[in-house]
Structures are given as structure tokens and as C-alpha cells.
Structure 1
Amino acid sequence: MTFQVNRQDGLFYRQTYFDKARRVVLKVGSAVLTDECGLRSDVIANISRQIAFLQSSGREVILVSSGAVAAGRQVLGVEKSPLEPLRIKQALAATGQGLLMQAYEHAFAEHGKKVAQILLTHDDLSHRGRYLNVRNTLSTLFDLGVIPIINENDTVSGEELRFSDNDTLGALITNMIGADMFMILTDVDCLYTANPMADESARPIYTVAEIDQAVEKMAGHSASSLGTGGMLAKLRAAKMVSECGGCSFIGPGRNPDILQELFSGELIGTFFLPAKDRINRRKHWIAYVLKPEGYLVLDRGACKALQENGTSLLPSGIISVQGEFDVGAPVRCLDQEGLNIASGLSNYSSVEIELIKGLKSNQISGVLGHKDSDEVIHRDNLVLKTNAIYE
């Protein structure tokens, strides 16, 4: 199967997955929710109406919403600057988040729906206990009939605590709760074969079977004037969901009936099918949620063994160690060209690996005075990067 599905098959796949979707995560970006005057109350009212429709049809819905910084910027009269300090953005988020939630509360109340605010940092999901607590909270809100509204906690998020964008946050939440579908509403109609603003031959792509390098090249590197994530970020998020067995959608957020039309089978936007080869939630957590604390550079033989045979990583295949980390830390495995080929949890610290790199497993105890494992990373804690979209 090619990366692009033909129109007839695409319609069939869409209707099948939309009909089966019982749990949905919807991400709406700043470019949809705001303009130069601030929050668009008409857009928020319309999105709330459509989400209320989905919930009333028996589906569970989570809304991941941007817009706090843009709302704060408007009410405080702070002009956007390319060199804007982090403290200014945090102050804008602190001011705007309340306005954003107030707008949603009023809009959902018109349909008899209650909402709850959840603000997250990357650290909340990388800590296993807190990760499970967030998942339990979301499940309880579903049981109570409440619609969770999630945003990044920009007020406290420094660079080390940040998600790269809310597309990534939405994908992580989708996989965390096992949602059937991740929907990204944005200011573009769909994915095109090229930039339609620069190439008259550009054509829309309605259904994608596999997000590979060819699809990545179509995304370009453009970003909205009001948002932080361009099409490449959205494709990366869709791939994360696909690898865990979910499907995704990218389409026009200001279409007044976008959700009703989609769930009725209309051919709008771009739909992404689940991957054939899927990873479980724990491996998704290792590969996508945890930020690497170090890097291991592998020789050609080790790379081949990991990619073709699905083996564990042994010390003999390690050429060098980058960074300082302890036992159990998340690390990335690189080939000699610097390409990320895998992520995993290390059985040894960086200091220990530095001493045993290039050695056979039966030599570990002689060098370290102990041997906790034959493997530096066991295959159960190792996730390969297949057709990855790299940063």
C-alpha cells in the first residue's frame, strides 16, 4: 500500500473509524481560536457546540486548547516580539488562561455541559506515578460526564519542562488514555502535496496510510502567525498516535460544522490510518514521553542487530557515551552519523557504560566488580525508530 489511499477507499476507511470512535481527543490551536483582537468568542462557541454534540452522542471527548498566551497578550496590550523573554510569555499565559477557561465555561454551559481545567508540564507525564494520576483523573472526569480541557502549564514551564507544542501534548494524551481518534483543528484545510501558496500544482491529500519521509517532505516548515506548531509538528503528532493504534485527522477549525460533517462521512481534511506495526503504551511512554538524559553511539553491527533482529543492546556495540545519567535513565541510541535509531532505559550509568563499552557481556563483572545485566538496554525496554520524523 502506498502512503496515499485512493478516494473511494479513503471514504470507506474514514466512515469505519469515525463510526467506531468512542473516545476522541480534539486539539484546537491559537490560529483557530484567536486573531489580532484576541479570543474569538464565536469560534469558541461553535467548537463548544460541536463537542457537546459529540458527547451527547455517547462519546467521551477531551479538548486540548491553545490560546492562553494570545488571550493574555491582547488583554495586556503586549506586542509580540521575536526575542520575547520567557517571563513575559509566562505572565501572558497566567493572565490569559483564566480568560480562556471563562470563555469555555460560558460556551459549554449553553449546552448544559460542565468542564474541568487540567494544566500540565512535560514533567507531569515523564514521572510514571504522576502520569498514571493524570490518566486516572481523566477517567474519573469521564465517569462524571465532565469535559476535560487541557493546556500546557506555560506559567511554570521552563525549557526543560515544556512540550514542543500542543500537537505533541494532544498526541501524548490520546495515547495515554487509549483514545480512538486524535483530531487537530487548525487554520489549513488539509495536507497538500506541496505548498499551495507557492506551487499551483499542489493537490490535497485526503487519506494517508503511512507517515513516511515522502509525507514529511510535503509538510514544509511553515507555522501559523499565532501558533507554535507547523504542519511538520502535526504530522509528528499523528505518527505518534498511529504507532499506538489510533487514527488522526487534520482539518479546518473554523468550518462551522466540521465535527458533524466529519462524523457524517464528509471528505474533509486529511485522515491518517493506524500503523500496521504498533507499540504498547509502556513503550510509547519510553519513546515519546521521556526526555533523553544521554546518548549512546553504536557501531554498524549493533545498529543492524537492533533494527533487523530486534535484539537487546549489548556493551560490545557501543562506541561512545554522551551525557551523564544514572541507572534506569532514558537514553537514545544513535548511529555513527548521528541518526536516532532507538530509545530505551539503561541498565547502567553513563560512568559504568564508559568503562564497559566495546566489551563482551562476560567481561562486565571483571571491570565493574559486579554485573546487574548482560544488556545495557534490554529489548523489553527498547523502542526502535522506524520511519521516524526527526527533529
Structure 2
Amino acid sequence: MDRRDEYLKSFEKANLIVLKIGSAVITKDDEGLDYQVLSNIAYEVQRLYRAGKSVVIVSSGAIACGRNKLKFNKKPLALFEKQALAACGQADLIKAYEEVFEQYNLKVAQVLLTSEDLSVRTRYLNARKTLLTLLKWKIVPVINENDTVATEEIRFSDNDILSALVALALPAEALFILSDIDALYTEDPRVNPKAQKVSVVREITPEIKAMAGCKPGKLGRGGMYSKLLSAEMVTSAGIPMAILPGRTPLILEKFFSGQQIGTLFLPKERKVSMRKLWIRYYLKPEGRLYLDEGAVKALVVEGKSLLMGGISKVEGDFRKGACVECLNGDGIVLAKGLINFSAEEIQNFLKTSERPPKEVIHRDNLVILD
């Protein structure tokens, strides 16, 4: 058996799949949505449903739809202009999904998220429960970032990252990113036509990340680098991921039949709890704690909680329960965690010999970063 065929088993076993669809996949240049591509995707999704699987779609395209609707060709766009275009285009986007899925007697539901919906624990759990309820009802959730209300501070970097966060939250059993670039290459093929395709990635190393370059997608904010970050997130939680050419008809059927197409990212054995994955990937730090060598050793080597005696400096104005970063003396971020005291309380402890009655960050709420 070919090794790639062997790796496909982890995808074939997946019963809950997240399918991320990029703007460049479902839109034509300056012509709006490509209904043929959307119909192709709907056909494949209904085949997955008939096979007993569930699918969550994360779809870009609202801004591109708004551009076409208003014939708004200005570039670059200010944030408020993107938000206005998204407001105009989102209705067209979900209407198109409803139309193509109706052909196969499947209903869709629109779900718009900001990062706050996933970083606030109660909202995160509610969003997860809503998605699972829709899947139980055999309704296909179509998720997009809520561009109309999201500010720069609470935006996902792009929908590649959003799809990974959704996959982690459910949790899904496979993530497929349908892109206008058909796979990971050793270099950007738009720059170097001689770049070689990478069929399988076993680990996201610095060398792998260097292959991505820094050029964004044709219509979206992402690029290959954001896809690699998504792969790093989901594979660390035991979820396999694949990048596939989204405009190719029957692409998922070809993939599952074993054709040498796209790039597979192999899952690792999950070693941390879902709560720690939530802390690591969903929460944005509100402050920083600088640690001495003893505290660094206690956290990183010995797996202990963080005590007040190991803190040398505090930065930020955070509340009790906030997410903070832990850094060593060289300013390297080593960990993230939920703190049991406010910044003001930590500052007061540093100024006196008084010690708090409990750990500053309990190890159950602490994640060591790679």
C-alpha cells in the first residue's frame, strides 16, 4: 500500500468535517459568484451526508459579492468599506448557498462569528452547542466572519484561521481547505513556476513555514502561511487537514479515491485538554508576566503552577481571570494562562513581601507554548 493511501485512512474515518471555501474558489474575477463551482460543492456535500457524515462550511465571499453587487472596484479598501461591502454581499452569499443546496433537499443556516464569540467561554460554549444542534437537525451551517461589526482588535486574521478554530471547537475529525492554489509547494508557484508540490506534511517545521512566503490570496486576506498556521493548530489536536484545489469538480471524491491531489497534513496525538486548546488558540493575552529562571524551570520542565515568587515584572492592565503571557528574562513567550489576580493586585504583591493565598496561575489553566 502506498504511504499516502495509508494516511488517507485518518480522513476516511472522519464523520464530522469542516470544509473551508476561499473567495477565489467560489467567485469569478469581477463577476460575482460562480454558481457552477457552488453547485459542484453542494453535490459533494450531499454525497457526504448520504454516507453518514456531517459537514460544516466556513465560507469567504461576502466582500467579493458586495464588490460585484455595487460595482465597487476601489483598492485597497478601508476597514469600514470592507464592512459595508460585507453587509451588502452576505445576503447574496447565503442566498446562493440556499439555492444550490435546495437541489439536494439540504437546508443551510447562516452563522456569523467574531473572535469574541469564541474567546469568551460562555459564548464559545453557546456557539458550539448551536452548531452541534444544527448538525443534529441535518442542517449545514455556513459560517463566515461577522465582517460588518468586527473591529481590527476582534477580527480573525482570515477564514483559514476561523475554520481551524471551528474545527477545534466542535471538535471536527477532518478539515479541508479548498483553495485557488492546489497544494503546498516548496516555493510560491506564482513566483517560481518550477516550485515542487509537497504531497504530505508530517510536521509543521520552520522549513515548512518558509515555503509559504508572505503573499496573500488573490481575493482573500489569507495565503499559504495562514493555511500552515491552521494546519499547525488542528493537527496538534489530532485533526488531519488537507489543502485541495477548490475549483476542481468532484475534488473530494477524487481525494477519497486516492488520487495524488493536494497536500495532506498528518495529525499528532492530542496531548492536551480541550480547555487548554481553548486557552492556547482562542484567547488573546491582555497582559504579560516576566519570570525568573526558577519559575521558568518550574513551569516548562516540572509542569508546576506559577507562584508569586517567580514573577519579576508585570505589564498590562488586566482583570482577574484574564489571559496573560508568561515570558522569560530574554522576553521570549513561554506560556499562556488564566490568572487568578488582577494586574493591580500583582503589582501590590511585587511591592511588598506579602504572598497571595494561592497560585497566580494554576497549572490546569496554563499552556506551555512550543
Q: Is the 8 A contact 1:26 1:61 kept in 2?
A: yes
Q: Is the 8 A contact 1:187 1:253 kept in 2?
A: yes
User: What is the alpha-carbon distance in structure 1 between the residues aligned to residue 20 and residue 46 of structure 2?
Assistant: 15
> Among 211, 215, 224, which residue is 2:217 paired with?
224
User: What is the alpha-carbon distance in structure 1 between the residues aligned to residue 224 and residue 74 of structure 2?
Assistant: 22
User: What is the alpha-carbon distance in structure 1 between the residues aligned to residue 322 and residue 152 of structure 2?
Assistant: 19
Give the structure 2 partner of residue 384 of structure 1: 368
1:172, distance to aligned residue in structure 2 (A)? 0.9
> Among 25, 38, 46, which residue is 2:32 paired with?
38
1:199, distance to aligned residue in structure 2 (A)? 4.0
1:264 paired to 2:257: yes
Residues 1-391 of structure 1: matches in 2 within 5 Å?
8-14=2-8, 16-34=9-27, 35-82=29-76, 84-199=77-192, 202-357=195-350, 363-365=353-355, 371-373=356-358, 375-386=359-370
User: What is the alpha-carbon distance in structure 1 between the residues aligned to residue 181 and residue 350 of structure 2?
Assistant: 49
What amino acid is aligned across from residue 380 of structure 1 in structure 2?
D
Q: Is the 8 A contact 1:121 1:163 kept in 2?
A: yes
1:201, distance to aligned residue in structure 2 (A)? 5.4
User: What is the alpha-carbon distance in structure 2 between the residues aligned to residue 277 and residue 78 of structure 1?
Assistant: 46
Give structure 1 stretches of 5+ with no counterpart.
1-6, 366-370, 387-391
Greater displacement, 117-126 / 293-302: 293-302
1:211, distance to aligned residue in structure 2 (A)? 1.1
Q: Is the 8 A contact 1:316 1:358 kept in 2?
A: no
User: What is the alpha-carbon distance in structure 2 between the residues aligned to residue 364 and residue 29 of structure 1?
Assistant: 54
> TM-score, structure 1 length as denominator?
0.90
1:161, distance to aligned residue in structure 2 (A)? 2.2
> TM-score, structure 2 length as denominator?
0.95
User: What is the alpha-carbon distance in structure 2 between the residues aligned to residue 238 and residue 90 of structure 1?
Assistant: 28
Q: Is the 8 A contact 1:315 1:358 kept in 2?
A: no
SS at match of 2:361: coil
What amino acid is aligned across from residue 150 of structure 1 in structure 2?
I
What amino acid is aligned across from residue 321 of structure 1 in structure 2?
V
Q: Is the 8 A contact 2:237 2:269 kept in 1?
A: no
User: What is the alpha-carbon distance in structure 1 between the residues aligned to residue 31 and residue 108 of structure 2?
Assistant: 25
SS at match of 2:214: coil
Q: Is the 8 A contact 1:246 1:274 kept in 2?
A: yes
Q: Is the 8 A contact 1:243 1:279 kept in 2?
A: no
What amino acid is aligned across from residue 139 of structure 2 in structure 1?
V
Distance change (3 Å), C-alpha of 1:172 and 1:20 = same
Distance change (3 Å), C-alpha of 1:238 and 1:364 = farther
Give the structure 2 partner of residue 368 of structure 1: none
User: What is the alpha-carbon distance in structure 2 between the residues aligned to residue 339 and residue 233 of structure 1?
Assistant: 22
Q: Is the 8 A contact 1:319 1:358 kept in 2?
A: no
User: What is the alpha-carbon distance in structure 2 between the residues aligned to residue 191 and residue 364 of structure 1?
Assistant: 54
SS at match of 2:211: helix
Q: Is the 8 A contact 1:318 1:358 kept in 2?
A: no
SS at match of 1:97: helix
1:137, distance to aligned residue in structure 2 (A)? 1.2
Q: Is the 8 A contact 2:119 2:282 kept in 1?
A: yes
Q: Is the 8 A contact 1:29 1:65 kept in 2?
A: yes
SS at match of 1:344: strand
* CA deviation map 1:200-236 (0-9, x unaligned): 6532111111112221111111111201111111111
User: What is the alpha-carbon distance in structure 2 between the residues aligned to residue 120 and residue 378 of structure 1?
Assistant: 30
1:347, distance to aligned residue in structure 2 (A)? 1.2
Greater displacement, 68-77 / 330-339: 330-339
User: What is the alpha-carbon distance in structure 1 between the residues aligned to residue 369 and residue 234 of structure 2?
Assistant: 14
User: What is the alpha-carbon distance in structure 1 between the residues aligned to residue 156 and residue 82 of structure 2?
Assistant: 15
Q: Is the 8 A contact 1:317 1:357 kept in 2?
A: no
User: What is the alpha-carbon distance in structure 2 between the residues aligned to residue 229 and residue 153 of structure 1?
Assistant: 16
Give structure 2 stretches of 5+ with no counterpart.
none
User: What is the alpha-carbon distance in structure 1 between the residues aligned to residue 305 and residue 289 of structure 2?
Assistant: 14
1:19, distance to aligned residue in structure 2 (A)? 1.8
User: What is the alpha-carbon distance in structure 2 between the residues aligned to residue 271 and residue 223 of structure 1?
Assistant: 21
SS at match of 1:309: coil
Q: Is the 8 A contact 2:338 2:365 kept in 1?
A: yes
Distance change (3 Å), C-alpha of 1:336 and 1:21 = same
Q: Is the 8 A contact 1:189 1:252 kept in 2?
A: yes
Once superposed, what is the RMSD of the aligned Cα atoms? 1.8
User: What is the alpha-carbon distance in structure 2 between the residues aligned to residue 263 and residue 244 of structure 1?
Assistant: 22
1:38, distance to aligned residue in structure 2 (A)? 1.8
User: What is the alpha-carbon distance in structure 1 between the residues aligned to residue 192 and residue 45 of structure 2?
Assistant: 35
What amino acid is aligned across from residue 205 of structure 1 in structure 2?
V
1:61, distance to aligned residue in structure 2 (A)? 0.2
What amino acid is aligned across from residue 224 of structure 1 in structure 2?
G
